Amino acid sequence: MSIDALAAWLKDVSRRVERVLPGDRSAQRTVVAPVEIVGIEDHAHVSALYQNELSNTSFEIDATGWSTFTSAGVTGTASRSVAAAKHGSVSILVSVTDNDYTGYRLIEVYQNVTVNPCETYTLQAEKKLIDTNDSSGLFPIVRMQWYDANSSLISANSAADGVVDTAFEKLSITADAPTTASKVRASFGLRLYNNIGGNGNCYFDCLQLIEHDAPVDYRHTNIFPGDGRALVGEFMI
């Protein structure tokens, strides 16, 4: 597909995906339908476009936009690493060196994102757990914590996988935003459970939150011409 052909197609799609009620920007939301384009020069297939609600999702320059949460009793770090990456050359490495407490403990990186209530969201990452002293008590985890307009926690959804990886593997959770949800805290990290002295290291890359009912392949950020919205999509070329 030539650059001109792709730009023309994206410009046309950009006019159709966003619906804004006149005079009421509070009602703004993005509506994206599956699309397939066949036969443009090299017969590129574009199966879908979805907006990634997270920013700085591959950490290539820095970790701007991300915060860290560490439970009491956990000793660990979350920092950029060039030792392993799924996309580009950098990932985020979450490490635990000690845990003094029984029960449920966490170390995570997270972003808070505005959401539409009752819509379905998928949170996903590429993760690589490289070592742990307790695969039954220390797990990579992705979490969605839903908050209302008063910043009160409503509920949470999560997925975890404690298998040590030889390559990056996708980890995802899909859930509906509660009826009173205003924001979601999207988190990626390590969960410890009844794991005194627990330790381990896990890389995370290609972080993604989309309004969709299933994970999709991560691709580099795409920008509609003349529009600042970043989109991700499944491109099969």
Domain containing residue 116: CATH number? 2.60.120.260
pLDDT score recorded for residue 9:
60
Q: Which residues of the chain have pLDDT under 70?
A: 1-48, 135-136, 219-237
Whether residues 95 and 161 share a domain: the answer is: yes
Whether residues 46 and 91 share a domain: the answer is: no
pLDDT score recorded for residue 220:
52
Whether residues 85 and 181 share a domain: the answer is: yes
Domain that holds residue 30: 3-52+221-236
Q: Please tell me what DSSP assigns to residue 27.
A: G
pLDDT score recorded for residue 47:
35
Number of domains the chain is built from:
2
Whether residues 126 and 198 share a domain: the answer is: yes
Strand order in the sheet with 120-132: 74-81, 91-99, 200-210, 120-132, 169-176
pLDDT in tens, 58-67: 899 999 999 9
Single pTM value for the model: 0.74
Whether residues 83 and 177 share a domain: the answer is: yes
Position 60 in a domain: no
